[in-house]
Copies of this chain bind each other. A is one copy, B any other.
């Protein structure tokens, strides 16, 4: 059983879940290189489709994801990471989860369902 990177043209979806709370934090993408670095370093590494390069989560914000467990689904084309989210906020908009808005009814109105832990300015103004 090997991971099927071909189905998605070299990229597969990777879900990050908080290992303590079970909250789904975000979905990002991995190519083989990102996956292998994640397994090796036990820190989440994704492939940024917009920047077209490896994205070591937290490289700018410091909000790295320490990988506790790695799961693969039945047809080996999706990854699930169970992580410790350093800093609390996985989302670059300062929320714990990127899924901080729920869809209310067929009209598609959104409602923000989480407190904002930090502002983007606080996250990216931080110097390491």
Contact = CB atoms under 8 A, between A and B. Distances in A.
Interface of A: 1-3, 7, 13, 15, 17, 21-24, 26-27, 36, 39-40, 49, 69-74, 78, 80, 91-93, 95, 98-103, 105-106, 108, 110, 113
A17 to B, nearest CB: 6
Copies in the complex: 2
Contact of A74 (B24, B92, B108): B92
Given A92-B74, A93-B74, A1 B69 contact: no
A118 to B, nearest CB: 14
B13 A72 contact: no
Given A27-B73, A72-B110, 18 more contacts: A1-B101, A2-B108, A15-B15, A15-B27, A22-B22, A22-B23, A24-B24, A27-B78, A39-B103, A39-B105, A39-B106, A71-B100, A71-B102, A71-B113, A72-B99, A72-B101, A74-B92, A74-B95
